[in-house]
Amino acid sequence: MSEEKIWRKRGAMPWEEPLIFEKSVPGQCGFQISDEPEIDAEKLIPKKLVRKKPAEIPELAEAEVVRHFSRLSSWNYSLDHGFYPLGSCTMKYNPKLNEFIAGDEGFAELHPESPENLSQGMLELWYRLEQSLAEICGMDAVTIQPCAGAQGELCGMLMLRTYFDDRGEKRTKVLLPDTAHGTNPASAKIAGFEVVEVQTENGLLTPDMIKPHLSSDLAGLMLTNPNTLGLFEKHISEISQMIHKSGGLVYMDGANLNALMGIARPGDMGVDVMQLNLHKTFSTPHGGGGPGSGPVAVKKILEPYLPVPRLAKSRDQFSFDCNQPKSIGRMTAWYGNALIWVRAFSYILRMGKDGLKEASELAVLNANYIRAKLKALYHIPYPDACMHECVFSDHGFPAGITTMEIAKRLLDYGFHPPTIYFPLVIHGALMIEPTETESKARLDEFISALVKIREEAENSPELLKSAPHRTPVARLDEVSAARHPILRFNQKEAKGR
């Protein structure tokens, strides 16, 4: 298929669209305020806060406003448009059924301060979700309060600290492998621990690497499993035993549970506390920038430290229980991100035990399919079979072509690029997570784009160096955008640009 055809089939619409301020026509109006009396702002607001001149608000007719935003929305590549192999983010297609159920007004319009007796349905759903997650993970108790994976990590590490404080033990160090997800060391540090980095061997943590660190001031180990290289930490049970013997506890970052569901349970591997990311594995996409949910699952010894309120059940009635003297306290205002739990519970019920297992098996199969198909053309730093994601690098690419060029050129082929330059232990990493929801045909299209890109790198590297050629914008200055964002429109500045 020609590049032009591929673009027409899969690409975004290459429209130019001015800013809404630039489209403004003085006097055009999209709404009418009804017969409200004129208000004298100076009588209501301190004088120094009153505007000297009216705000520069664009003036446009309703149809123009709708068209403007509809066009912009079509530029935004999403899971509903196509393949989104953003490693570590688990951008899988999430069934609309779960959106539909979360949109039910009984759930969506329930006020967070509704009394318990009027919220029994929602409370039951949360209670049953906590129990389902405990069963999937092989743990004893769960809180669904934390609002992100990283907040779940912090919650778990705060519990670890409170547990040792409660026992009068001064354990200050936490071991983290060099493959840890970036949020792990930050969470351990914020919870008051000293972070000790441990080297891995061929991408894995080994008992030998742990041994020298076992001591009476070791609080525990924080381990992402499967790790950020997409590899299963196969020594985890032995390492857990070693940590326990020396009096420490094991924290597992379970954000990658989408590779393990129904196959292996962290609780059976000696894990004492873990978080999981509902917004990766359980029917809410991660990279969309929306709300998240990072439930924390614990073994019995840590249950007293879970955040309050806990959910309690007594004779089929559900209530909040704040009477937990050893609790670390609240992690969120109210109880957390409620509608993500509705989606997650709906997903779990719809999939069932066998469905969850099959989802994980397919996620692993798809990643290995891509790995096997591309391994002759793209360097794989850790050649073992992978779990749900596979990591390549730009090592050996000709003509100075880097991961950035490969990612930019993928845009021309109509695909969202994979995660790049992460994990940090691999120079020029290209991290592909296809997820279980992609068909073989879609994976093959993606593979053939990467095969073509490799050929282009050999034969016409300039094509890659100047890519992308077909997007509304090409190479943005991401650093300036992050460090010096322009968030307010200014007519004068806009004219000067």
Stretch that binds ligand PLP, among 54-62, 65-73, 193-201, 253-261 (CB under 6 A): 253-261
Residue 149 sits in the site that holds ligand PLP (CB under 6 A): yes
Query: What span, in angstroms and rounded, lies between the C-alpha atoms of 350 and 328?
Result: 34
Query: What span, in angstroms and rounded, lies between the C-alpha atoms of 322 and 188?
Result: 26
Beta bridge pairs of residue 173: 194, 218
Residue 142 sits in the site that holds ligand PLP (CB under 6 A): no
- Least distance CB 82 / ligand PLP (angstroms): 21
- Least distance CB 258 / ligand PLP (angstroms): 10
| From candidates 255, 257, 271, 339, binder to ligand PLP by CB under 6 A | 255
Stretch that binds ligand PLP, among 5-13, 125-133, 147-155, 242-250 (CB under 6 A): 147-155
Choice between 184 and 402, CB closer to ligand PLP: 184
Query: What span, in angstroms and rounded, lies between the C-alpha atoms of 271 and 273?
Result: 6
50-56: long-range contacts, CB 8 A cutoff, minimum separation 24: 56/21, 56/489, 56/491
Residues 6 or more apart whose CB falls under 8 angstroms from that of 57 comprise none
Angle between helices 440-459 and 403-412 (to 10 degrees): 120
Task: Look up residue 112 and give its DSSP letter.
Answer: T
Contact 186, 150 (CB under 8 A): yes
Size of residue set near ligand PLP by CB under 6 A: 15
| From candidates 125, 150, 274, 411, binder to ligand PLP by CB under 6 A | 150
- Least distance CB 292 / ligand PLP (angstroms): 4
- Least distance CB 159 / ligand PLP (angstroms): 17
3-state helix, strand, coil in the chain (%, to 5): 40, 10, 45
**At 278, is the secondary structure helix, strand, or coil?**
helix
- Least distance CB 381 / ligand PLP (angstroms): 18
Choice between 11 and 146, CB closer to ligand PLP: 146
- Least distance CB 356 / ligand PLP (angstroms): 19
Choice between 186 and 365, CB closer to ligand PLP: 186
Residues 368-407, one symbol each (x = binds ligand PLP by CB under 6 A, - = not), give ----------------------------------------
Count of Cβ atoms closer than 10 Å to residue 437 Cβ: 18
- Least distance CB 233 / ligand PLP (angstroms): 12
- Least distance CB 149 / ligand PLP (angstroms): 2
Contact 145, 335 (CB under 8 A): yes
Beta-strand pair 419-420/429-432: antiparallel
| From candidates 6, 60, 79, 89, binder to ligand PLP by CB under 6 A | 89
Residue type for 415, please?
F
Stretch that binds ligand PLP, among 106-114, 148-156, 230-238, 358-366 (CB under 6 A): 148-156
Count of Cβ atoms closer than 10 Å to residue 384 Cβ: 14
Residue 360 sits in the site that holds ligand PLP (CB under 6 A): no
Choice between 175 and 464, CB closer to ligand PLP: 175
Identify which of 364, 324, 400 has the alpha carbon closest to the alpha carbon of residue 141: 324
Strands (E) in 362-457, as ranges, are: 390-393, 419-420, 429-432
Q: Using CB atoms, what's the residue nearest to ligand PLP?
A: 149
Contact 137, 267 (CB under 8 A): yes
Query: What span, in angstroms and rounded, lies between the C-alpha atoms of 225 and 232?
Result: 6
- Least distance CB 94 / ligand PLP (angstroms): 16
Cis bond before residue 418 (omega within 30° of 0) = no
- Least distance CB 153 / ligand PLP (angstroms): 7
| From candidates 233, 253, 303, 438, binder to ligand PLP by CB under 6 A | 253
Contact 449, 413 (CB under 8 A): yes
Beta-strand pair 141-143/429-432: unpaired
Residues 279-298, one symbol each (x = binds ligand PLP by CB under 6 A, - = not), give -------x-----x-x----
Residue 417 sits in the site that holds ligand PLP (CB under 6 A): no
- Least distance CB 379 / ligand PLP (angstroms): 23
Residue 277 sits in the site that holds ligand PLP (CB under 6 A): yes
Question: CA 79 from chain center: how many Å?
Answer: 14
108, two tokens: 């969506």
- Least distance CB 234 / ligand PLP (angstroms): 17
Residues 224-243 binding ligand PLP (CB under 6 A) are 224
Choice between 243 and 255, CB closer to ligand PLP: 255
Residues 158-197, one symbol each (x = binds ligand PLP by CB under 6 A, - = not), give -----------------------x-x--------------
Query: What span, in angstroms and rounded, lies between the C-alpha atoms of 338 and 157?
Result: 23
Residues contributing to the site for ligand PLP (CB under 6 A): 88-89, 148-150, 181, 183, 224, 253, 255-256, 277, 286, 292, 294
